[in-house]
Amino acid sequence: MRSMARSPALPLSSPGASYPTRQRTDSPQQEPSEGPGNFSRPFRVCALRCYIHRSPGLARHYRKCIRAQAAKSESLELVLDLKGKLLESPVWDGRLQKLIFVDTDGQRIYKYDPSTPDSLISVHLPEPVGFVGLTEVPDQVLAGMERRVVLVDLQKQAIISDVAITPEEHGADGHRFNDGKPGPAGVCIFGRKHESSETPDGQRGRVYRLDMGPSVIRGKLTEVMTPEETQLPNGMGWDMQKGVMYLNDTFMKEFEDTPGIIWEIQVDKQGVPARNASKQLKKRVVYKINVAKEGGPDGMTLDSQGRIWLALAKGSKLICVDPTSNTEVHRINMPIQMPTACAFGGKNLDELYITSTELGGGKGAGGLWRYTLEGLKGLSAAHVATIQSS
């Protein structure tokens, strides 16, 4: 699948004025500068502020204009108050102009049409469902449950077929698929976790690839990251111009005080993690997160500039990380404790949909949110290229 051409860079300056650029947590912290974090003319700003502060009337007018501009360029709204147990894995199907997402613990897949919100479609599954991925056939999606990956028809509201199953030696009780999605070349990559993975001594997860046969609903699972290489694999995204994928690991005990990790992993032409001659993954840490203070890195998506947008579960926020500078460049504060994942949608891919869980409470907890920011756009979701229904 061809990569989408990137649009001119989004400065994230005006709406992000209250969120200064912040260095990653493993680097010496810098004092945040006043005003927009990436403002390039600090002396002019100081002079302007001195002038404004001498005139109370002008100061009031200035603050009013700033508030009006912020309200115009940035918005956050609750679009579905589902009170879901654990909403996750949002993906926008541009062919249908609909958002598909799951309630993991509620064992449901939802299809949401923003133009007719009351026509929400729900499909119940027999097990918790960790992720959904688009296929070549609209309204047919892959779904990862405890051990099985299945093909689900959203119109028929039924499982069509089993696609793949994990080996018994990779665990059964307490395990389930977590996050995952098809990469740009159509190969589905997804992680699997244990319910104890978010503890220092918990069982560790794995990451798989799914290869589909050309004419049958049957796939082959291949492990691409071992328990020694990941603990709680979570959100992922690709930048094929750089030849990398990004992977959130919510809890890597090896990093002690900052166990939340964003990995950058070199991939092959299929978007699958690659290894060097010594069979080691070619990866680096993009960003470290103090889970106890900031929340755990959960689902992610990339915008058209290659920046990473990720939800911080238990942190009441999403952040945008620039993987080139390894810095946080924007933040979305939420009125709920547990945002879980995000995906770009809408006709122009300029709406960021955010899922959440009911845990932690707050108005809109367990609901679907929509965030817009002037100039912000995402990329089209990929789909598995070789699924065919019989």
Which positions make up the binding site? 88, 176, 178, 234, 298
Give burial (CB, 10 Å; 0-12/13-18/19+) of 270.
middle
Torsion of CA 242, 187, 300, 381, to 10 degrees: 90
Q: Is the dihedral of CA 149, 342, 303, 191 positive or negative?
A: negative
| Residue 37 contacts residue 329 (beta carbons within 8 Å) | yes
102 to 92, 106, 137, 221, 262: CA distances (angstroms): 12, 8, 19, 22, 23
Q: CA–CA separation, 161 vs 331, rounded Å? A: 41
Structure tokens at 326: 């390894």
Binding-site entries for substrate:
176, 178
Give burial (CB, 10 Å; 0-12/13-18/19+) of 111.
buried
Q: Which residue has the tokens 């190969």?
A: 187
| Residue 333 contacts residue 19 (beta carbons within 8 Å) | no
Q: Is the dihedral of CA 153, 158, 161, 167 positive or negative?
A: positive
Q: What is the largest CA-CA distance in the chain?
A: 75
Structure tokens at 232: 């709680």
Q: Residues with catalytic annotation?
A: 298
Of 389, 387, 388, 390, which Cα lies nearest the Cα of 188?
A: 387
Binding-site entries for a divalent metal cation:
88, 234, 298
For 35-139, strand residue ranges (E) read 74-80, 87-93, 98-103, 108-112, 121-124, 131-134
268 to 190, 191, 244, 281, 383: CA distances (angstroms): 16, 18, 8, 11, 18
